[in-house]
A = this chain, B = another copy of it.
Amino acid sequence: MNLFEEIKKISEKITELLKTDDFFTEIEPQELRDAVKSYPLRGGKRLRPALTLWACGLLEGDTEKAIYAAAASEVYHNWTLVHDDIIDNDDMRRGKPSTHKELSTFAKKKYKLNETQAGKYGVSFAILAGDLQQSWAINLILKTAGLGIPENVVRSICNDMVQDLSVKLISGEAIDVAFSYKGVDEISYKEVEHMLYLKTGALLNFCVIAGAKIALKTTNNEHEKIKKLTEFTTHLGIAFQLRDDWLGIFGDAEKLGKPIGSDISSAKPTLLMLETLKRSDAESKQILISLLGKDKISERELETVKKIMKKSGSEEFISSKIAELKISADKALTSFPDNDYKKIFLDINKYLATRDY
């Protein structure tokens, strides 16, 4: 199996399933129904449903039986994006207007509203769209029972989603929101690592847990294979995040499709930046602090930041950390059979740790 062909195939399958699902037929009004479908049908990487299907396949389960759980992983991810985009005032998502923006544009036209009124309408409807998507994700999990997976296994996956995952992911988002009210120098590396584990790692873990439970027909979260799989996704998740930090400074704007340095102008407490601040002398630290939150970062300022990161050793530290995490993730898979799915897990791990975009 080729990684990118496989992802493309999964993406098409998930899109088809979501497009024809019976969940939203009765949603009113039309613009709310459209909003509920919007992100899920935009595509995106489909990394999360892929992890669910591959985990099932790796454990020699029938991946067809994990298809609803895979779709649920994607829809769950999407409701968190809809609400995050409101919270972060993000106007774009996957190259299109974010849900609250789409809805405010709709309202402006339909009700002839001014900017403020339309903005309020957009946020109100987007809150409700995300709420519906959370319900939809759970509805998709429950549909797994129709594929012959034992009821208690389905309930166990459903509970993993609403208890373990929701508590972690939403706590992570809240901690991240709270960070934006603090100075970058008041936040520790450990705190950010913990936040990232909650906000993004917990969902990656859920994805493989769901696939594995379906393959093994187990309700046991302490199952040795499940432990190994979440060890894999935990390492992969942090490596993914560190690579993101790295690309945000040392990446290529054209390949990334977004300007370099936005992490600096948004004063984002990335692990790379926190490590740099910790390792820098008073003068360099002063320069960095003065740039964090600055409206526009010039080419020259970016070069200064790069130089400080290289000199302090933080760039090297983060790069070797990514390499180590990649190796640790690979190692977590040692005890699994050498099948096609294992190869694809190793491929995705390698790709995420070394990607240029």
Contacts and interface: CB of A to CB of B under 8 A. Distances in A.
B26 A168 contact: yes
Chain A interface size range:
35 or more
A131 B28 contact: no
Given A124-B87, A155-B154, A158-B138, A131 B166 contact: yes
Interface in A148-168: 151-152, 154-155, 158-159, 161-163, 166-168
Given A124-B177, A151-B155, A171 B28 contact: yes
Contact of A32 (B113, B139, B174): B174
Most buried by B among A107, A139, A168: A139
Interface in A125-183: 125, 127-128, 130-132, 134-136, 138-139, 142, 145, 151-152, 154-155, 158-159, 161-163, 166-168, 170-171, 173-175, 177-178, 181-182
B134 A181 contact: no
Given A27-B171, A127-B127, A155-B155, A163 B139 contact: yes
A357 interface: no
Contacts of A151: 151-152, 155
B177 A125 contact: yes
A121 interface: yes
A177 B104 CA distance: 13
Interface string A9-47: 000000000000001101111001000000000000000
Contact of A131 (B26, B83, B152, B159): B83
10 contacts: A24-B167, A32-B170, A32-B174, A86-B127, A87-B124, A87-B128, A125-B177, A128-B177, A139-B162, A139-B163
Q: Which 10 A-B pairs have the closest CB atoms?
A: A151-B151, A135-B166, A135-B162, A28-B171, A87-B124, A111-B181, A138-B162, A32-B174, A139-B162, A139-B163
Given A113-B181, A138-B138, A139-B163, 11 more contacts: A26-B168, A27-B171, A28-B175, A29-B171, A83-B128, A87-B127, A111-B182, A128-B170, A139-B159, A142-B155, A142-B162
